[in-house]
């Protein structure tokens, strides 16, 4: 990528679930030599821990029990060269493969709307980005975690296109899921993410929109290169 890679900046990527944020963010980070942080994985990791420790039963999240579990949850990332991204660990256990099941997806919205959960994870995210040179993806990165990020991108894509992508991803892994179930999950999470009281998903005023419904990864990279160079040129002035 022909970039004016002068200043290390924070690149905040927010948007709906399954619109390719992680793939996009991972490619950018690899090309720039930046650290990629998938904040959705952190909310998923807390959800998995809550499921495994009885704080979620039959899909019902017991908020008090989740909050009580928080002090015993330590999240860390370790770079996995095979994936070209960092794997997530909870209390030293690798959970990367366990956090993307439909069971976790179905419970992650209520867990991520708990104030104490957000406070803990946002503080960790701010700490991880303090040296800049990071690409962070999530829902509230440009609005809450790093309102001073130099480049903010708001990603979106048609809900059916997103459900199709997640369906392929899950069935390739051998998960038995139906397309309708995935589409329902995508639509209900969009609604929950945008309507929750704390840090709802919304476009930061200074974010630029990327609708990738009909764009290849290469086209998205070209688009990004242009925007990144624009920001670097402005910073150099
Ligand atoms: O990006 P994802 O689908 O893996 O995220 C999982 C859930 O976590 C999503 O439903 C919303 C929540 N989330 C959040 O509330 N804030 C973030 N910064 C990232 C994710």
Instruction: Indicate whether residue 140 lines ligand 1 (CB < 6 A).
Output: yes
Q: Is the pLDDT of residue 159 over 80?
A: yes
Domain extent listing, the chain? 2-236
Instruction: Give percent above pLDDT 70 in the chain.
Output: 98
Can you give the pLDDT at residue 237? Answer: 83
Instruction: Indicate whether residue 17 lines ligand 1 (CB < 6 A).
Output: yes
pLDDT mean over 3-28? 88
Confidence of residue 60 (pLDDT cuts 50, 70, 90): very high
pLDDT in tens, 175-187: 889 999 999 999 9
Confidence of residue 1 (pLDDT cuts 50, 70, 90): low
How close is the Cα of 236 to the center of ligand 1, in Å?
Answer: 34
Instruction: Indicate whether residue 112 lines ligand 1 (CB < 6 A).
Output: yes
Q: How many CB atoms lie within 10 A of CB 89?
A: 16
Query: Which fold, 2-236?
Result: Rossmann fold (3.40.50)
Can you give the pLDDT at residue 116? Answer: 98
Instruction: Indicate whether residue 100 lines ligand 1 (CB < 6 A).
Output: no
How close is the Cα of 38 to the center of ligand 1, in Å?
Answer: 9
Q: Ligand 1, atom 1: nearest CA belongs to which residue? A: 40
Instruction: Indicate whether residue 139 lines ligand 1 (CB < 6 A).
Output: yes
Can you give the pLDDT at residue 18? Answer: 84
pTM attached to this predicted model: 0.91
Pocket test for ligand 1, best of 75, 95, 102, 108 (most atoms within 8 A of CB): 108
Q: How many angstroms from the chain centroid is the CA of residue 60? A: 23
pLDDT in tens, 199-229: 999 999 999 999 999 999 899 999 999 999 9
How is residue 113 annotated by DSSP?
A: T
Can you give the pLDDT at residue 117? Answer: 98
Instruction: Indicate whether residue 44 lines ligand 1 (CB < 6 A).
Output: yes
Can you give the pLDDT at residue 3? Answer: 59
Instruction: Indicate whether residue 28 lines ligand 1 (CB < 6 A).
Output: no
Q: Is the pLDDT of residue 8 over 90?
A: yes
Q: Ligand 1, atom 8: nearest CA belongs to which residue? A: 40
Confidence of residue 4 (pLDDT cuts 50, 70, 90): low
Pocket test for ligand 1, best of 17, 88, 128 (most atoms within 8 A of CB): 17
Taking the C-alpha atoms of residue 69 and residue 124, their distance in angstroms, rounded to an integer, is 17
Is residue 102 packed enough to be buried (19+ CB in 10 Å), middle (13-18) or exposed (0-12)? middle
Can you give the pLDDT at residue 134? Answer: 96
Mean pLDDT in the chain? 93
Q: How many helices (H) and strands (E) does the chain have?
A: 8, 10
pLDDT in tens, 133-158: 999 999 999 999 999 999 999 999 99
pLDDT in tens, 29-51: 999 999 999 999 999 999 999 99
Q: Ligand 1, atom 13: nearest CA belongs to which residue? A: 40
Q: Is the dihedral of CA 172, 178, 179, 183 positive or negative?
A: negative
Is residue 83 packed enough to be buried (19+ CB in 10 Å), middle (13-18) or exposed (0-12)? exposed
């Amino acid at each position: 990528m022909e970039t004016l890679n002068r200043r290390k900046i924070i690149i905040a990527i927010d948007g709906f679930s399954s619109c390719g944020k992680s793939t996009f963010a991972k490619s950018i980070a690899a090309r720039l030599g930046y650290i990629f942080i998938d904040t959705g994985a952190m909310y998923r990791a807390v959800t998995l821990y809550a499921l495994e420790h009885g704080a979620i039963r039959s899909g019902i999240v017991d908020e008090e029990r989740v909050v009580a579990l928080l002090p015993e949850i330590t999240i860390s990332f370790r770079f996995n060269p095979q994936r070209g991204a960092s794997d997530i660990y909870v209390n030293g256990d690798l959970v990367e493969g366990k956090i993307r099941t439909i069971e976790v997806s179905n419970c992650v919205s209520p867990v991520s709307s708990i104030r104490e959960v957000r406070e803990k994870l946002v503080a960790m995210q701010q700490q991880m980005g303090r040296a800049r040179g990071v690409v962070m993806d999530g829902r509230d990165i440009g609005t809450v975690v790093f309102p001073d990020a130099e480049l903010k991108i708001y990603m979106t894509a048609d809900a059916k296109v997103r459900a199709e992508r997640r369906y392929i991803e899950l069935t390739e892994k051998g998960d038995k899921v139906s397309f309708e179930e995935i589409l329902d999950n995508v639509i209900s999470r969009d609604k929950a993410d945008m309507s929750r009281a704390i840090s709802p998903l919304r476009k930061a005023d200074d974010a630029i929109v990327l609708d990738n419904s009909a764009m290849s990864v290469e086209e998205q990279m070209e688009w990004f290169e242009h925007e990144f160079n624009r920001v670097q040129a402005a910073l150099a002035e």
